[in-house]
């Protein structure tokens, strides 16, 4: 029996820790990867706390987005071969030396893209692209507000919003994080300590709000939206899930839109694959520049989680597995 190392939750409600688990062989429609890197996400913290909307049945290995090389191919898999460099948004299984994943979730990565870039690319860029283009219907010339603009998803929303022709307002905590958002293309910067609603009104309001924070930021942005504005709820990093006054929706003819990329993987995986293909093309053209603030070895995964928990990272935190 061949064993591999994995950062696992062994039982429901249990604490994640390193375990030795049996190596798996791919079944029909699956591939096995030698995992090189895994991107960390705020959702990994929520999963550990038992508060995420989609928690796998225990035991399971943490790590939602993965990059590596194919080491074995299951029956009926076409279009892939051993040694090929690929990425996969699997929702689990990334913080391990190897993993078996469904081939229909696997995508090739460009030669110019490192494993670390690929591991931190899918969730953040996929979320922002689908939320802004597919759900938010962002148009050139519109004004986009991004809250949590220096975080893993927020920074990509700044970058993609600017690429789509919007005027981008970045909201983040502190000068250092705002500097990162400015470098990604933000036109206007609002510090978390400022009156967000008033600053937005001074700038003419927002057509689209991309909110991964919730709480006070959501409420302030909601009150400063233009007529027919669209507010996209991505997450609630503040821990406060806001309530929406429906009468205010009517007065300004507003849309409040939910977006969860994991849900699309279940009922519209084709839309996610098409989005990833577009994004990979933009990367190859040099139009996207992934920002990774920390790359840590597998032994330091808990340190990486703490960086997310304590808001001490910008862009992505990536774990180098091998």
What CATH number is associated with residue 51? 3.90.180.10
- What is the pLDDT confidence band of residue 14, given thresholds at 50, 70 and 90? confident
Whether 165 has a pLDDT exceeding 70, the answer reads: yes
Number of folded domains that form the chain: 2
Q: Do residues 163 and 248 share a domain?
A: yes
- Residue 220: inside a domain: yes
What burial letters (b/e) apply to 67-79, b meaning 16+ CB within 10 Å?
bbbbbbbbeebee
**Alpha-helical segments (H) within the chain:** 42-49, 115-119, 122-129, 152-163, 175-183, 196-202, 215-223, 246-252, 261-267, 269-284, 301-309
What is the average pLDDT across 112-133? 96
Q: Do residues 104 and 128 share a domain?
A: no
pLDDT at 1: 61
CB 41 within 8 A of CB 58: no
Whether 82 has a pLDDT exceeding 90, the answer reads: yes
- Residue 276: inside a domain: no
Q: Do residues 93 and 128 share a domain?
A: no
- Residue 275: inside a domain: no
pLDDT at 54: 85
At residue 80, the 3 state secondary structure works out as coil
For residue range 90-101, list pLDDT tens digits in order.
999 999 999 999
Q: Do residues 234 and 140 share a domain?
A: yes
Q: Which residue has the higher pLDDT, 298 or 11?
A: 298
Q: What percent of the chain has pLDDT over 90?
A: 87
What CATH number is associated with residue 206? 3.40.50.720
- pTM: predicted TM-score of the whole model, two decimal places: 0.91
Whether 317 has a pLDDT exceeding 90, the answer reads: yes
Residue 161, C-beta contacts closer than 8 angstroms, at least 6 positions apart: 128, 132, 138, 144, 146, 168, 185, 208, 210
Q: Do residues 19 and 90 share a domain?
A: yes
C-alpha–C-alpha distance, residues 320 and 177, integer Å: 24
Residue 147: give the domain boundaries: 124-261
For residue range 227-262, list pLDDT tens digits in order.
999 999 999 988 899 999 889 899 999 999 999 998
- Residue 284: inside a domain: no
Q: Do residues 129 and 257 share a domain?
A: yes
Mean of the per-residue pLDDT values for the chain?
95
For residue range 253-284, list pLDDT tens digits in order.
999 999 999 899 888 988 998 999 999 999 99
């Amino acid at each position: 029996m061949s064993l591999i190392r994995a950062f696992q939750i062994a039982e429901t409600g249990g604490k994640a820790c390193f375990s030795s688990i049996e190596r798996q062989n791919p079944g029909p429609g699956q591939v096995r990867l030698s995992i090189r890197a895994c991107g960390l996400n705020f959702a990994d913290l929520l999963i550990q706390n038992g508060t995420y909307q989609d928690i796998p049945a225990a035991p399971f290995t943490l790590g939602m987005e993965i990059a590596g090389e194919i080491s074995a191919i299951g029956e009926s898999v076409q279009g892939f071969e051993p040694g090929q460099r690929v990425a996969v948004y699997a929702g689990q299984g990334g913080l391990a030396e190897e993993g078996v994943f469904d081939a229909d979730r696997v995508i090739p990565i460009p030669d110019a893209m490192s494993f670390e870039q690929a591991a931190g690319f899918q969730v953040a860029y996929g979320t922002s692209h689908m939320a802004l283009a597919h759900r938010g219907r962002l148009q050139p010339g519109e004004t986009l507000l991004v809250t949590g603009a220096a975080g893993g998803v927020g920074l990509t929303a700044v970058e993609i919003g600017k690429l789509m022709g919007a005027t981008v307002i970045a909201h983040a905590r502190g000068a250092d994080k705002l500097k990162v958002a400015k470098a990604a293309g933000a036109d206007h910067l609002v510090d978390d300590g400022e009156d967000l609603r008033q600053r937005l009104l001074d700038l003419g309001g927002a057509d689209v709000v991309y909110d991964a924070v919730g709480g006070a930021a959501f409420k302030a942005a909601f009150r400063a939206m233009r007529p027919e504005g669209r507010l996209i709820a991505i997450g609630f990093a503040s821990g406060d899930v806001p309530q929406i006054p429906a009468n205010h929706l009517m007065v300004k003819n507003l849309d409040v839109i939910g977006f969860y990329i994991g849900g699309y993987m279940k009922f519209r995986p084709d839309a996610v694959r098409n989005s990833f293909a577009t994004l990979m093309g933009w990367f190859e053209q040099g139009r996207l520049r992934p920002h990774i603030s920390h790359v840590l070895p597998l032994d330091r995964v808990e340190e990486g989680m703490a960086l997310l928990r304590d808001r001490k990272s910008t862009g992505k935190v990536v774990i180098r597995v091998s």
